[in-house]
Amino acid sequence: MDVERIDNGINAEEGEYEKNGKKEVKGGGEKSVEEISESQEVPLWKNQLTIRAFGVSFLLSIMFSFIVMKLNLTTGIIPSLNVSAGLLGFFFVKTWTKMLQKSGLLKQPFTRQENTVIQTCVVASSGIAFSGGFGSYLFGMSERIAKQSDDNGSFKNPSLGWIIGFLFVVSFLGLFSVLPLRKIMVIDFKLTYPSGTATAHLINSFHTPQGAKLAKKQVRALGKFFSFSFLWGFFQWFFTAGEDCGFVNFPTFGIKAYKNKFYFDFSTTYVGVGMICPYIINISVLLGGILSWGLMWPLIETRKGDWYPAGIPASNMHGLQGYKVFIAIAMILGDGLYNFFKVFSRTLTGLFRQVRGKQSLPVANRPSTSDTSKKISYDDQRRTEIFLKDQIPVWFSVAGYVTIAIISTIALPHVFHDLKWYYILVIYMFAPTLAFCNAYGCGLTDWSLASTYGKLAIFTIGAWAGSHGGVLAGLAACGVMMNIVSTASDLMQDFKTGYLTLASPRAMFVSQVIGTAMGCIVSPCVFWLFYKAFDNFGVPDSQYPAPFAIVYRNMAILGVQGFSALPKNCLLLCYGFFGAAILINFMKDMMGKKWGSFIPLPMAMAIPFYIGPYFAIDMCIGSLILFVWEKLNKAKADAFAPAVASGLICGDGIWALPSSILALAGVKPPICMKFLSRATNAKVDTFLGS
């Protein structure tokens, strides 16, 4: 999982669906996956890349880019959408092929390899909506966020042209950086990649008679809740004619609780997110909200005039806002650094064990020197044979990386004048090693540390550049690093999925490249629609506050200015919460899986520190629905909960498209429904009575 992106919507245990090549079923004796599909011919790699697959991928990438963008710009919590991407890809192509089959025009049947290509392309494309930094480092460069941070330094406002150009020159490097090591990761080291394995299990199950029937029912459930969520978003829109209007501002627990961000905002998106995310994440977010908005901020507010000036605006970074932002940063950094060193140490330990006794690391085109005398299963033999069949030359990977690195080293200083060419060169010298570490660590733990590497780039490059453009240089360096390490781990996840579904590595790589190219165009366009449609975009307490933009901007300021940027006593509190984040993580690891699973996650706790706990209530309601459902019928909940949750997320997410178009066209909702306190109501009654 990513530190701002929750990627464990599919449990690792679900991914481990085989043991020694056999399905784990009661009674035993059932054929393995590849023995069942032995009679099915595996298409050539070129035949796995079909026009219909990329047509469906393009439509789904637009849909998922809207969903990820909306999540990114509201809270920054993004669950794994692999289940819905795989399910919808299967449904659309299967429906299309059935129609062609009935008319006698079907030339090529729909295979699990083609399904994997769609899955890879969609996830690669929508992933740019996260790694592109539209809700974090990229928008953090803007004048609007600079003013909120009380930063009089340089800024760079968003523009569709330079954003697309920037993404094109940085998003492909990660793909080439780890490409030669696909064999060592997947076959020699047999890394788990739990999300990739679980996705493969899902796709394999779709292409069996029983799995196809279940998938049909799951799509029906997804469609039903998609429609409900979309229509609910449309209904709510009618009552939002002004500020603080509509159901999203309903004071569920009273006016005082509402002012401290404790209310249910009727968001089907975050109810769905709560159903996908593990219970401990939802509880952690709620605990963080109670700790900050329920205790800390009211107490610090009583020190107004002592700790910070009484007359400054609420949004001023030298007032209460500064405590909210910097304490959240301290927790995020404490959690990120702890997990960085944990995963890095596990990576080095695992790597040492794997290569001990070998003379060199095996790469893609070199035969493995490991002991092959051990008997391996039929499934492993068949998968290895297919995976090694279509080679990608090492020279192609090296040439691709060097060429793109040269182009971007020349181009990026023209986009960001403060980002010197030698900063970029240093990043590219270390990037392949860091990309390998992230991809390897993700294979062991399912935990991508892309945003942690990005934060490290903010501090190192920002401090190096100093006060002369260090903020923009640090944020731009963050974008370069995040894109490289994020796409590297995503590619290896996809190679694992392809290995288990007999998809060609060439087809997977081409699909990843095409999906990334789609994302470099689709995601900026989606962001631009949001940016132009809403006048208060990026403003605190607005519909799309982009909360992590101000967090990343202030990290860059901290890297350049040091602790002088902090309000009074804020540094002491930051030390405390930084240490607490490390201590909580350490306790969680020491207590083991059984008891450690009850310890909250500091990263999740930090998210509501700045934006408030209202969405945590939505997520906990989603958890409660899932918990009751599992108690009533666990088998049905396991089968349909991901589809129901995806429907709720997708419907509300897609409503963002027509609502943005209406806003651009100047069409406003007809009603402003406000919920007032009793005192205010009494004043209104008196006014109307007079």
Is 15 within the bounds of a domain? no
CA distance 353 to 363: 17
Q: State yes or no: pLDDT of 686 exceeds 70.
A: no
Residue listed under structure tokens 């009575």: 689
User: Which residue type does 396 have?
Assistant: F
Lowest-confidence pick of 188-197, 397-406, 492-501, 616-625 = 188-197
**Res 91: pLDDT:** 84
Q: Which domain holds residue 140?
A: 42-352+394-689
The answer to whether residue 101 scores a pLDDT higher than 70 is yes
Q: What is the pLDDT of residue 566?
A: 76
Q: In this structure, is residue 25 part of a structural domain?
A: no
Using alpha carbons, select from 422, 684, 546 the residue that is nearest to residue 136: 546
Domain annotation covers residue 20: no
Position 689 scores a pLDDT of 62
Over residues 628-659, the pLDDT tens digits come to 999 999 999 988 988 898 889 888 888 888 98
- Beta strands of 280-394 (E only): which ranges? none
SS3 content of the chain, % helix, strand, coil (to 5): 70, 0, 30
- CA distances to 164, 452, 546, 547, 549 from 136, rounded to whole Å, are 16, 13, 7, 8, 4
Q: At 22, which helix (H) or strand (E)?
A: strand 22-23
What residues have CB less than 8 Å from 457, skipping those under 6 apart? Answer: 427, 474, 477, 478, 480, 481, 482
pLDDT over 90 (residue 61)? yes
pLDDT category at 21 given cuts 50, 70, 90 is very low
Higher pLDDT, 473 or 99: 473
Query: First and final CA of the chain: distance in angstroms?
Result: 60
- In sequence order, the β-bridge partners of residue 78 are 5
Q: Quick check: 39 pLDDT over 80?
A: no
Instruction: State the pLDDT at residue 94.
Output: 82
Average pLDDT over residues 44-68: 92
pLDDT attached to residue 311: 79
pLDDT, averaged across the chain: 84
In a domain, 239, yes or no: yes
pLDDT in tens, 185-233: 888 778 888 788 888 888 888 887 778 788 888 888 888 998 999 999 9
Helix and strand element counts for the chain (H, E): 30, 2
Least confident of 93-97, 301-305, 410-414, 514-518: 93-97
Query: 348-362, 377-391, 484-498 — which one is most confidently predicted on average?
Result: 484-498
The residues, ordered by sequence, that sit 6+ positions from 62 with a Cβ below 8 Å of its Cβ are 522, 526
Q: Is the pLDDT of residue 362 over 90?
A: no
User: What is residue 578's predicted lDDT score, i.e. its pLDDT?
Assistant: 93
pLDDT at 73 over 50: yes
How many Å apart are CA 689 and CA 153, to the nearest integer? 53
Q: Identify the band that residue 685 occupies on the pLDDT scale cut at 50, 70 and 90.
A: low
Residue that has been written with the tokens 């997977």 in this structure: 508
Q: CA nearest 415: which of 114, 620, 156?
A: 156
Report if residue 368 sits inside a domain.
no
Contacts of 375 (CB under 8 A, 6+ apart): none
- The number of domains in the chain is 1
> What pLDDT does residue 7 have?
46
- Both tokens of 252, joined, read 């569920």
Q: Contact at 8 Å (CB) between 307 and 322?
A: no
Helix (H) / strand (E) element for 221: namely helix 209-237
Do 549 and 143 form a contact (C-beta atoms < 8 A)? no
* Single pTM value for the model: 0.81
pLDDT recorded at residue 565: 66
Is 465 in contact with 474 (CB distance < 8 Å)?
A: yes
Side chain identity at 487, as an amino acid letter?
T
Condensed to tens digits (0 to 9), the pLDDT of residues 543-573 reads 899 988 998 998 898 888 877 767 888 889 9
Please check whether residue 560 is in contact with residue 474, taking contact to mean a CB–CB distance below 8 angstroms: yes
Answer whether residue 671 is part of any domain.
yes
**Between the ranges 370-374, 548-552, 677-681, 682-686, where is the mean pLDDT highest?**
548-552
Task: Determine the average pLDDT of the residues in 48-59.
Answer: 93
Predicted local confidence at residue 450, as pLDDT: 85
Token readout for 50 is 């079909």
Residue range 10-14: average pLDDT? 37
Nearest to 479 by CA among 131, 237, 216: 131
Highest mean pLDDT among 42-56, 203-217, 308-322: 42-56
Residue 373 predicted with pLDDT over 70: no
Measured CA to CA, the distance from residue 340 to residue 334 in angstroms comes to: 10
Indicate whether 371 belongs to any domain.
no
pLDDT in tens, 431-475: 888 888 888 878 876 777 788 888 889 988 998 998 888 999 999
